[in-house]
Chains A and B, each alone.
Chain A
Amino acid sequence: MKKSHLPVKKSILSRALFTSAIIFSLCFVTSCSDDDEDPDPVVEEEVITTITVTLTSAGSPDIILESKDLDGDGPNAPVITISGNLVANSTYAGSIELLNETESPAEDITEEIEEKDEEHQFFFTPSGSVSGVTYTDQDGNGNPIGLSFSLTTGDAGSGALQITLRHEPKKPNDGSLNDAGGETDIAQNFSVTVE
C-alpha cells in the first residue's frame, strides 16, 4: 500500500531537504536577527527631578534648599544643596518649586500641583533647631497644600526638615503621613544649621 509511494517521495524529499536546509540555515544565521527597527526611547511622564525650596525672611539672605536627581530611578542618589545657614529664632516664608529637568526646557511640575491641588499635599517634619512649619495656602476645599508655608527656627544648633509630597492623600487628615496615606512623589530630608 505505502510501498508504491516511497521511491518517489524519497527523491523529491531529498532534493527539497537540501534546498530547505540551506535556506533555513541562511535565514537563521543572517536575516532573522536584523530586520527589526530600533525601539523608540520612552518619554517618561510624572517625573520630578528637582525640588527647590526657597526660604525668605526680611533682613536676612534667602536660603535655597534643593534636591536634584537627574537620573530618576537610576543608581545615582539625589544631589542635595543647601545655600546657607538659617538665622536662629526667625520666621521664614517658604515656597516650593518642582521641575522635570529630563526635558529641555525643564517642565514646571509646580503648575500641575496647583491645578490638582485637592489631590496633593506636602507634609513637613521639622526636627532639631527647625522648630515648626505651618501651611500658608489652601486648596478649593480649604485644606492645606504646602506649596507655600511658614517656617520658624529655634535656638542655634543643627536641625532637619523632611519634606514629603503625597498624591491622592486623604484630605483632610490629621497632618501625619500615616493618616494621610496616598502615594509618595517626593521624600527628601534637608539637614540644616541654624546660627
Chain B
Amino acid sequence: MTIISVNILIMRFFIILIFTCISGNISFAQDCNSILFGEVIDFHDKTVLENATITITGKNQSTTSDKFGKFNFKTLCNGVIELEVSHPNCRTQFITITVNGNTYQKIRIEHHLEELNEVKVIGNEQKNTNSSQEDKLSKEDFEKSSGKSLGDALKNMTGVSSLNTGANIVKPVIQGLSGSRVLVLNNNTRMQDMEWGQEHAPNIDVNANQHISLIKGSAALEYGGDAIGGVIILKPLPIARTDSLYGKTQLNLSTNGRGGNISTSLTKSFESGFYLKAQGSLKRLGDIEAPEYLLSNTGIKENGISLSIGKRDFVQGWDGYYSFFKTDIGILASSHIGNTDDLITAIESPTPLIINDFSYKVDKPSQEVTHHLAKLNYYRRFTGFGKLNVQYDFQNNRRFEFDRRIGDNANNASLDLKLTTHTFSSTIQLDSSKEFEFKLGALGRFQKNFANPETRVRRLIPDYNKYDFGAFVLGEFLIQPNLTIDAGVRYDFTRMNAKKFYRKSSWEERGYDGDFSQLIINDTGTQYLVNPIFDYHNVSAMTGLQYNLKENQTLKLNLSLAKRAPNPSELFSDGLHHSAARIELGDLRIKNESSRKISLSYQLNSQKWGFVLAPYLNSIKNFILAEPNDLQFTIRGSFPVWSYRQTNALLLGTDFSLYTNWTSKIRTNHKFSYVKGTDESTNIPLINIPAANLNNSISYSNIKWNNFIVTLESQYVFEQKRFPPNITVFSPQEQREKELNINTPPPAYHLLSFDASSKFSIQKKNDLSIGLNITNITNTNYRDYLNRLRYFVNNQGRNISLRLIYNY
C-alpha cells in the first residue's frame, strides 16, 4: 500500500472521528439582541485609549472607542465572535469573545509599541499555555536577529543557550536541554529535520515567521508529549482583513564574514479575508574571523522561500503554506581530525592548524541541507460549540555531510540521508463557556528515512519507517476571576521499524547476540542485516495554575510529566562519525525517558519596573546521554568512543529577569540563568550543561528623535565548574598515557555589545529603520563550553553590522 493512500485513509479517519464527535453537540439557539459593551485601556497605566478601531471579523461591523475608551456593538447574536482591535500606536490584535446576553469586555492593549515593541492583550492574550514558563521574542529583538540563526535569535530569552558547531550551526538549548527534547513548531507544523544530531541545527529561516515564542518544559501537550526541554513556536504575523498590499525588506551587512543577508516579504490582503504572502531570504557569509586569526572554511550560503495563501473568515478558513530552506555550511577546516593523536595535537595547539586566506567558498568538510515543508490547514467554528482545525503537512529533509575524501569519492558525500514525513492532525477547541475551555486533538504521522549507500561510508543512521499516533485532551478552568487552573493528558504511540546492518564484531561486542538474535533477517558473511521493530507507549500529563495576586502580579505553578521515545541516533548509532572523529554507539536496549518537572514563575509588571523569577526542578528518569567513555583502536589510530547510556538525572535551575524604567527614556534590563545538572546514579555532573550567565543592559530611547534607541549590553558567562571527568588515552605518538581534555570547559568570559537604531517616516505608511550593531566590541578572545569547536579555535571576534528595514 502506498504512503499516500495510507495517509488519505488516516486523514479520512480523523475527519470522520471529529465530525462524529461534533454532530451530537451543536446547538442552534440564536438570540440576536445582545449588546457588547467594551472598554479599551492601556495595559500598564490603565489609561483609557481613544480612537481604537474595533471590528467584528467577518461581519463588516466596525466602531471606534470614545474618549473614555468605550465602545459598543448592538444587535449581536449570542455566540463567539472575534474582534480585531487596532490603535495608531499598537499592532492589530485579534481577540475572541463570547457574547451571551449583554456582555461587558475590558480590552487591555500595550500602546507603548514604539518603546517596547510588544503588544499584550490580557484576558484573551494569545498564549500557548496557562501555567507554564513562557517567553517571546520582541519585535525589536527579532529585527536585530534577522541576520542570525534561529538559535542565536532565541538566546535573547532568559534560560536559553545554544549548542554550537561554530558560528553557523546553532542548536537551541532550553533550561539545559536540547536536540530531540526541544520541539520546533514552524507555522503549526512540528519540524522533522533530524534534530537528533549534535551538529544538526533547526532547518529554519528565521525571517519566514516573525512571531517567535518559547515554552520552557513540556506543558504544551498539544504539540507533543516529548518536549522535555521545551517548545519553540514560530508563527507568521496575523494578516488583517483589509484591502491592502504591504511589504517589508530587511538588509543586514556585517564586517565579520564580510557578507550579510537580505529578506523581503510581500503581503496582499483582501477585505474578504483572502490573502497571499510571499517571502524570500538570501544569506552569504565568508570565513568568520576570531580576534587573532581567520576561521578557515566557516562560510555559509543560505536561501529560503515561503509562500502562503488562504482565506480567513471568522466561521471558517483555510490556508496553504509552502516553505523551502537550503543551507550550505562550511565546517572549520582545522576541526577535521583523523584520530585521537590529531585531537590531542589540535587541543594543544594555541592556533588552528589550518589557516588559509579569506574565502567565500564553502569547502569540505561541510553540510548541505534542504528542507521542504508544505501544509494545508482548514478550520471551522461551530456556534455554541467551538472550533475544529484539521491539518495535513508534508516535510522532506535531505542532509549531505561532506568530508575531505580522496580518490574517486573526493566529491561524494559521507552522509546522505533523506527523511520524509507526513502528518495528519486535528484539534477541537471547545471555548463557548466562559468558565472552562477544552481542547482535544489527535495526530497520525508516518516517517521514512533513507540512508543512501552510494556514499560508500557505513550508514550512521539506518533506513527506517516510523509511525506515530497521538491524542490529547487539555482543559482550562476559570475558578475565580483571578485563578485559572489547567490540566492535560496525552498519549503517544511510536513504532520504529528499522533495517540496519551490523558488523558481526559490533553486534557481539554490544552483546546483542544473546538478546536480539531473533531480529537478524540476513547474514552477508561479515555483517548481519537486522530488523528491529520497537513500540513505545508514552503517557504525558500536566497540570498547573495561574493566579493573579494583584493587578500586576502573576504566580504560575506547573507540574508536568513527559515521556520521550529514543531517537534513531540513540538507538542505532554504530560507528565512526567522520565529521566528529568519534565513534558513536547507540543501544537497542534504550527505553523511553521520562521527565517530571515542577516549575514556578512569579511575575510583576508595572510601568516603573518588573521582574520574572522562574525556578524549576526537572527530574528525568532514564535520561539518555552520550559521553566520551572509552577509546577504540583501529588501523588509523584510536578514536574516542561516545556511548549512549541511560541514567537518572536531575536538573535544577532558575531564570531571572528584571527591568527598570528609570525615566521615560532610560531603561535597564538584567537577566540571569543558572542550571545544575547531575547524574544521580553516579553523582557526577552531566555533560554539556550550560554555564551560568548574567546579562545586563542599559538603553536610552527618545521617540522625538525618530524613535532613537541606543543600548549597551554586557554578557558575562561563568566558567562551568561542573563537568564529567576527562578520559585517559594512550598516545602512540608520545608513547605514554595522557589525559584527553575532552570535557574540560573553557574559562569564563565577558562580552560587550552595542546597538543603536532609528526609524524614519518616508511617506504616509512607509518607514525606514536604520540600525547599527556591534558585538564583541573589545574583540575578546574566548571559547564557549557548548561550542563543539572549542577544542580547536576561539569564538568569533568583533562584528559590526548595519541593518536597514523598509516597511512599505
* A→B interface (CB under 8 Å): 2-3, 6, 9-10, 13-14, 16-17, 20-21, 23-24, 27-28, 31-33, 35-36, 38-46, 48-51, 67-78, 102, 112, 116, 119, 125, 127, 160, 162, 164, 166-168, 177-178, 181, 183-189
- Chain B residue nearest to A78 (CB atoms) is B635
Ranked nearest first, the 3 interchain pairs of A and B with the lowest CB-CB distance are A184-B338, A187-B637, A75-B509
Give the shortest distance, in Å, between B495 (CB) and chain A (any CB).
8
**With A160-B735, A167-B406 known to touch, is A3 a contact of B453 (CB < 8 Å)?**
no
Q: Is B411 an interface residue (CB 8 A)?
A: no
8 Å CB contact of A20 from B9, B382, B505, B509: B9
- Chain A residue nearest to B334 (CB atoms) is A181
Give the shortest distance, in Å, between A165 (CB) and chain B (any CB).
9
**With A6-B26, A23-B9, A32-B467 known to touch, is A13 a contact of B16 (CB < 8 Å)?**
yes
C-alpha gap A10/B503 in the complex (Å)? 56
Q: In the assembled complex, which residues on chain A have CB atoms less than 8 Å from the CB atom of B576?
A: 73
Q: Can you give 16 contacting A-B residue pairs, CB < 8 Å?
A: A2-B28, A9-B23, A17-B20, A32-B1, A41-B501, A42-B459, A45-B407, A45-B408, A48-B636, A69-B634, A73-B639, A74-B575, A75-B632, A76-B505, A184-B636, A187-B637
- Chain A residue nearest to B499 (CB atoms) is A39
**With A40-B453, A41-B501, A46-B405 known to touch, is A24 a contact of B13 (CB < 8 Å)?**
yes
The reply to whether A27 and B9 contact each other, CB–CB distance below 8 Å, is: yes
Q: In the assembled complex, which residues on chain B have CB atoms less than 8 Å from the CB atom of A17?
A: 13, 16-17, 20
C-alpha gap A142/B19 in the complex (Å)? 81
Q: In the assembled complex, which residues on chain B have CB atoms less than 8 Å from the CB atom of A71?
A: 503-506, 526
Q: Is B497 an interface residue (CB 8 A)?
A: yes
The reply to whether A21 and B453 contact each other, CB–CB distance below 8 Å, is: no
Residues 528 to 566 of chain B near chain A (Cβ within 8 Å)? 529, 533
C-alpha gap A73/B639 in the complex (Å)? 9
Give the shortest distance, in Å, between A149 (CB) and chain B (any CB).
18
Interface centre among B19, B336, B409, B521 (most CB of A within 10 A): B19
Report the number of A-B residue pairs with Cβ-Cβ less than 8 Å: 182
Q: Is B570 an interface residue (CB 8 A)?
A: no
The reply to whether B459 and A162 contact each other, CB–CB distance below 8 Å, is: no
Q: In the assembled complex, which residues on chain A have CB atoms less than 8 Å from the CB atom of B529?
A: 38-39, 41
8 Å CB contact of B1 from A21, A27, A45: A27
The reply to whether B503 and A74 contact each other, CB–CB distance below 8 Å, is: yes
Give the shortest distance, in Å, between B566 (CB) and chain A (any CB).
19
Q: In the assembled complex, which residues on chain B have CB atoms less than 8 Å from the CB atom of A70?
A: 526
The reply to whether B506 and A69 contact each other, CB–CB distance below 8 Å, is: no
The reply to whether B6 and A13 contact each other, CB–CB distance below 8 Å, is: no
C-alpha gap A24/B469 in the complex (Å)? 12
**With A13-B19, A51-B635, A74-B503 known to touch, is A38 a contact of B522 (CB < 8 Å)?**
yes
The reply to whether B509 and A42 contact each other, CB–CB distance below 8 Å, is: no
**With A46-B407, A187-B339 known to touch, is A162 a contact of B732 (CB < 8 Å)?**
yes
Q: In the assembled complex, which residues on chain B have CB atoms less than 8 Å from the CB atom of A13?
A: 16, 19-20, 23
The reply to whether B6 and A27 contact each other, CB–CB distance below 8 Å, is: yes
Residues 392 to 441 of chain B near chain A (Cβ within 8 Å)? 404-409
Q: In the assembled complex, which residues on chain B have CB atoms less than 8 Å from the CB atom of A188?
A: 635, 637, 732
The reply to whether A102 and B733 contact each other, CB–CB distance below 8 Å, is: no
Q: Is B587 an interface residue (CB 8 A)?
A: no
Q: In the assembled complex, which residues on chain A have CB atoms less than 8 Å from the CB atom of B405?
A: 46
Q: In the assembled complex, which residues on chain B have CB atoms less than 8 Å from the CB atom of A32?
A: 1, 6, 446, 465, 467
C-alpha gap A33/B463 in the complex (Å)? 12
C-alpha gap A183/B353 in the complex (Å)? 12
The reply to whether A43 and B732 contact each other, CB–CB distance below 8 Å, is: no
The reply to whether A186 and B635 contact each other, CB–CB distance below 8 Å, is: yes
Q: In the assembled complex, which residues on chain A have CB atoms less than 8 Å from the CB atom of B26?
A: 2, 6
Give the shortest distance, in Å, between A33 (CB) and chain B (any CB).
5
8 Å CB contact of B404 from A40, A127, A178, A183: A183
The reply to whether A39 and B521 contact each other, CB–CB distance below 8 Å, is: no
C-alpha gap A41/B463 in the complex (Å)? 11
Further contacts, 10 of them, CB under 8 A, given A41-B501, A71-B506, A185-B338? A17-B13, A20-B16, A39-B463, A39-B529, A46-B407, A77-B634, A166-B338, A184-B339, A186-B635, A189-B732
Interface extent on B, as a size class?
Answer: 35 or more
Q: In the assembled complex, which residues on chain A have CB atoms less than 8 Å from the CB atom of B459?
A: 39, 42
- Chain A residue nearest to B583 (CB atoms) is A73
C-alpha gap A73/B414 in the complex (Å)? 15
What is the 8 Å Cβ interface bit string for chain B, positions 331-349, against chain A (1 contact, 0 not)?
A: 0000010110110010001
What is the 8 Å Cβ interface bit string for chain B, positions 72-105, against chain A (1 contact, 0 not)?
A: 0000000000000000000000000000000000
**With A17-B16, A27-B6 known to touch, is A74 a contact of B406 (CB < 8 Å)?**
no
C-alpha gap A168/B339 in the complex (Å)? 15
Give the shortest distance, in Å, between B479 (CB) and chain A (any CB).
33
- Chain B residue nearest to A182 (CB atoms) is B338
Give the shortest distance, in Å, between B781 (CB) and chain A (any CB).
22
- Chain A residue nearest to B531 (CB atoms) is A38
C-alpha gap A49/B636 in the complex (Å)? 9
Q: In the assembled complex, which residues on chain B have CB atoms less than 8 Å from the CB atom of A2?
A: 26, 28, 382
C-alpha gap A31/B1 in the complex (Å)? 7
Q: Is B488 an interface residue (CB 8 A)?
A: no
The reply to whether B336 and A49 contact each other, CB–CB distance below 8 Å, is: no
The reply to whether B456 and A45 contact each other, CB–CB distance below 8 Å, is: yes
C-alpha gap A28/B424 in the complex (Å)? 14
C-alpha gap A54/B656 in the complex (Å)? 68
Q: Is B10 an interface residue (CB 8 A)?
A: yes
Q: In the assembled complex, which residues on chain A have CB atoms less than 8 Å from the CB atom of B495?
A: 33
**With A78-B633, A185-B636 known to touch, is A41 a contact of B467 (CB < 8 Å)?**
no
Q: Is B589 an interface residue (CB 8 A)?
A: no
C-alpha gap A6/B25 in the complex (Å)? 11
**With A77-B633, A187-B637 known to touch, is A6 a contact of B23 (CB < 8 Å)?**
yes
Q: Is B721 an interface residue (CB 8 A)?
A: no
Interface centre among B6, B409, B521, B639 (most CB of A within 10 A): B6
Residues 437 to 486 of chain B near chain A (Cβ within 8 Å)? 446, 451, 453, 455-459, 462-463, 465, 467, 469
Q: Is B187 an interface residue (CB 8 A)?
A: no
The reply to whether B636 and A186 contact each other, CB–CB distance below 8 Å, is: yes
- Chain B residue nearest to A127 (CB atoms) is B735
C-alpha gap A70/B504 in the complex (Å)? 11
Q: Is B127 an interface residue (CB 8 A)?
A: no
Q: In the assembled complex, which residues on chain B have CB atoms less than 8 Å from the CB atom of A14?
A: 20
The reply to whether B733 and A162 contact each other, CB–CB distance below 8 Å, is: yes
Q: Is B527 an interface residue (CB 8 A)?
A: yes
Q: In the assembled complex, which residues on chain B have CB atoms less than 8 Å from the CB atom of A45?
A: 407-409, 456
Give the shortest distance, in Å, between A186 (CB) and chain B (any CB).
6
Q: In the assembled complex, which residues on chain B have CB atoms less than 8 Å from the CB atom of A178?
A: 345, 349, 353
- Chain A residue nearest to B23 (CB atoms) is A10
